[in-house]
């Protein structure tokens, strides 16, 4: 079989999924009268809503007599674990770069991984029709990036295409828009090598895991050697060579366009999905019973942020979700960790909660969002960074490279806020259109919750991108939230009159009629301390007439708390309560006396 395996890698929003749409259309994947959805590869609900790719997915097209397997990868650094695994399945990469923004942090991350594996890149400058496109400068920046990442001479001699994925063309020059995607297809056939097929019996390295209600566990990977048929006996080897399980393959699915079709024989070099095994997972080797040595799996970068997931124990727990027990939460998290190698799930010492570590706040927020849509109720703590110890025993913390594109007039406040968060500025350069590109090395701790503050400071015009840089010595304390919170002192339904009377205490986070309970956070205090308030107290009605006219109750709109905003807002003594219908903020200890005891114990420990 004439075969090519390629991955499309780029920073978020540089047009990977849109490019795949056009490749599928122009390769004749669809019928003439078939209805085509936009960004067809973004298949789950959250991906469609947010317009981002979270899970890597495979598809294939036929160009002439050659089958091209294409892998669409995520662009956010939080899902970098997905990209690292995918690169071991392919023989070439298309590096997509925005003609205005140029190479960004995630571009640097994935290109570095691809170059290390010896893959030969094709560079595609996308969106050349943008009014602020700066094609020549971006091409120079790409070359400088490759050189900085120690690319070989062969990798530095990369072919270049220019085009617009949205308008469905790629060409050898900026105005060569007459041949559609044909130049890209032909370059892939010419530049990307055929898959290297090793001798020997069937071996496949598990790369993507998913659950199917009819077929059970489905593992996707590239066949390194041999061939496989349905009903064939196989065994599964872990990374260290131990036998995980033995069994039979019930079904082999090949990627044909956007569909997965059952096939009777899969041969070395092809990317396929196999079903029928119950324990094999990502990074395991699925092989013939005669094989004893596992395939080498790529090491994954360690997680940098952790959170505690626990049972929702508020007074109104169990009223909105149907999965509320610690056993169900534990099983769901362990199942997630099986398929997502960038996540680490450990049972906490108290056995009532789970410590979940990942690459960033977004990755953990997506997991929580998926769980609440499945009917789970849970409470989660503030994200914390994962500290390590250096050789001399000193604590080290994760440092991120932060790139902020901002209008010149707002650069001062950005530099000030970042320095308050212990960030170190590395570079400041113009990026076209009266905008500056600021590059910082900042501790991950300082970036928790900064995204919303940055948008407020810059009137929504700044774009922030982050990438894990490495570990460095602990930078010292960082000031947290400056304001205290307003806490409900009773349980019931919030009353508009009471909220109106309390408006001078600070902005509210609830609306009239919402259910509240003792210890729940209902607003933000205007001062530094926390304050207990009564939002249930209605107006006293008497039979005495008054000459004064009743004032109409007009409430200021409340602060809307999204999941990510809530996670970054809370302090260490607070939790976010998550249910399928609501996101509430609460104190860890609902009883005020317990809160005082915990505070005294903390002060005693600090002294």
Binding site feature residues for GTP:
13-18, 126-129
Over 107-164, what HEC string results? HHHHHHHHHHCCCEEEEEEECCCCCCCCHHHHHHHHHHHHHHCCCCHHHHCCCEEEEE
Q: Residues annotated as binding site?
A: 13-18, 126-129
Identify any residues that bridge with 223 across adjacent strands, giving them in sequence order: 204
**Collapsed DSSP state (helix, strand, coil) of residue 592:** helix
Euclidean distance between CA atoms 37 and 13, whole angstroms: 18
Q: What are residue 574's phi and psi, to 5 degrees? A: -125, 160
Q: What are residue 442's phi and psi, to 5 degrees? A: -130, 145
Q: How distant, in Å, are the alpha carbons of 38, 41, 217 from that of 19?
A: 11, 10, 30
Task: Check the CA dihedral 284-285-291-292 and report its sign.
Answer: negative
Q: What are residue 388's phi and psi, to 5 degrees? A: -125, 170
Half-sphere exposure of 22 (CA within 13 A, CB side): 19
Contact predicate 54/362, CB 8 Å: no
CB-based burial label for 417 (10 Å; 0-12, 13-18, 19+): middle
User: What tokens were used for 284?
Assistant: 């395991």
Contact predicate 221/271, CB 8 Å: yes
**Collapsed DSSP state (helix, strand, coil) of residue 271:** strand
Contact predicate 237/289, CB 8 Å: no
**Collapsed DSSP state (helix, strand, coil) of residue 84:** helix
**Collapsed DSSP state (helix, strand, coil) of residue 184:** helix
Contact predicate 486/523, CB 8 Å: yes
């Amino acid at each position: 079989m004439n075969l090519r395996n390629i991955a499309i890698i780029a920073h978020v929003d540089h047009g990977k999924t849109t490019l795949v749409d056009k490749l599928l259309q122009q390769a004749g994947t669809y019928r003439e009268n078939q209805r085509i959805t936009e960004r067809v590869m973004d298949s789950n609900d959250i991906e469609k809503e947010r317009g981002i790719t979270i899970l890597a997915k495979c598809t294939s097209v036929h160009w002439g007599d050659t089958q091209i397997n294409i892998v669409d990868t995520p662009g956010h650094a939080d899902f970098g674990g997905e990209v690292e695994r995918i690169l071991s399945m392919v023989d070439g990469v298309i590096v997509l770069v925005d003609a205005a923004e140029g190479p960004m942090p995630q571009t640097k991350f994935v290109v570095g991984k691809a170059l290390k594996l010896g893959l030969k890149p094709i560079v595609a400058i996308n969106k050349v029709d943008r009014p602020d496109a700066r094609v020549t400068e971006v091409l120079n920046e790409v070359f400088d990036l490759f050189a900085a990442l120690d690319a070989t001479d062969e990798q530095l001699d990369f072919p270049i295409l220019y085009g617009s994925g949205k308008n469905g063309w790629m060409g050898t020059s900026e105005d060569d828009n007459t041949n559609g995607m044909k130049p890209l297809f032909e370059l892939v056939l010419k530049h990307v090598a055929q898959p290297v097929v090793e001798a020997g019996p069937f071996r496949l390295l598990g790369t993507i895991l998913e659950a199917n209600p009819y077929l059970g566990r489905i593992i996707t990977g590239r066949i390194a050697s041999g061939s496989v048929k349905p009903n064939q006996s196989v065994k599964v080897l872990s990374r260290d060579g131990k036998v995980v399980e033995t069994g039979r393959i019930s079904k082999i699915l090949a990627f044909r366009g956007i569909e997965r079709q059952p096939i009777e024989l899969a041969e070395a070099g092809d990317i396929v999905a196999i079903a029928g095994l119950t324990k094999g997972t990502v990074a395991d080797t699925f092989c013939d019973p005669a094989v004893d040595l596992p395939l080498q799996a790529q090491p994954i970068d360690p997680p940098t942020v952790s959170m505690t997931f626990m049972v929702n124990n508020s007074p109104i727990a169990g009223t909105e979700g149907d999965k509320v027990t610690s056993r169900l939460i534990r099983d769901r998290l362990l199942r997630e960790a099986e398929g997502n190698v960038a996540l680490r799930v450990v049972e906490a010492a108290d056995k009532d909660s789970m410590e979940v570590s990942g690459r960033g706040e977004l990755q953990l927020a997506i997991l929580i969002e998926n769980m609440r849509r499945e009917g789970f109720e849970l409470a989660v703590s503030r994200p914390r960074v994962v500290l390590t110890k250096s050789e001399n025993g000193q604590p080290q913390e994760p440092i991120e490279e932060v790139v902020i594109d901002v209008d010149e007039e707002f650069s001062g406040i950005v530099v000030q806020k970042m320095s308050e968060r212990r960030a170190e500025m590395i570079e400041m350069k113009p990026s076209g259109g009266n905008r500056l590109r600021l590059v910082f090395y900042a501790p991950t701790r300082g970036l928790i919750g900064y995204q919303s503050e940055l948008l407020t400071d810059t009137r929504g015009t700044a774009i922030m991108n982050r990438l894990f840089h490495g570990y460095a010595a602990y930078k010292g304390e960082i000031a947290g939230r400056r304001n205290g919170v307003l806490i409900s002192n009773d349980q019931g339904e919030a009353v508009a009159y009471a909220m109106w009377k309390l408006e001078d205490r600070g902005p509210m986070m609830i609306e009239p009629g919402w259910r509240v309970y003792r210890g729940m956070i209902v607003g933000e205090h205007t001062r530094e301390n926390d304050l207990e308030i009564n939002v249930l107290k209605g107006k006293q009605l008497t039979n005495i007439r008054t000459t004064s006219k009743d004032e109409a109750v007009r409430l200021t709109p409340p602060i809307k708390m999204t999941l990510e905003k809530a996670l970054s807002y809370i302090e260490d003594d607070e939790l976010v309560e998550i249910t399928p219908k609501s996101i509430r903020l609460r104190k860890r200890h609902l009883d005020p006396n317990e809160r005082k005891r915990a505070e005294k114990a903390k002060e005693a420990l600090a002294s």
